[in-house]
Amino acid sequence: DVKVTQSSRYLVKRTGEKVFLECVQDMDHENMFWYRQDPGLGLRLIYFSYDVKMKEKGDIPEGYSVSREKKERFSLILESASTNQTSMYLCAIRYGGADNEQFFGPGTRLTVL
């Protein structure tokens, strides 16, 4: 079974802090994704990565950056956290094959005070 772990389930940070959210997969999947989930807005794609050192902007990249130095790890960085970045953050990997579906990690609920 695929395992996707995220570094924290709950995180509380202060405005202006630099925040790192880590996502680690235990298989050799190339495609990894970061979403944020807010009530009434569904899931919105922040960034995704096809491979090591590769990254692509999603729909809402402003205020975020990412890092993928190793295939198994995809980090989301909030350079200077703001209160409007309070949200649930979900990491996902993509299977290959005919289904090509996404498998999600447990999520990190971030609160910025």
Partner 1 sequence: ELKVEQNPLFLSMQEGKNYTIYCNYSTTSDRLYWYRQDPGKSLESLFVLLSNGAVKQEGRLMASLDTKARLSTLHITAAVHDLSATYFCAVDKGNQFYFGTGTSLTVIP
Q: Which residues bind partner 1 (CB under 8 A)?
A: 31, 33, 40-45, 48, 50, 58-59, 90, 94, 98-107
Tell me how far apart the alpha carbons of residues 75 and 61 are, in angstroms, rounded to a whole number. 14
For partner 1, the closer CB: 2 or 113: 2
For partner 1, the closer CB: 15 or 41: 41
Shortest distance in whole angstroms from residue 57 CB to partner 1: 11
For 27, the token pair is 């298989």
Nearest to 26, CA basis, from 48, 4, 50: 4
Tell me how far apart the alpha carbons of residues 29 and 16 are, in angstroms, rounded to a whole number. 33
For partner 1, the closer CB: 63 or 107: 107
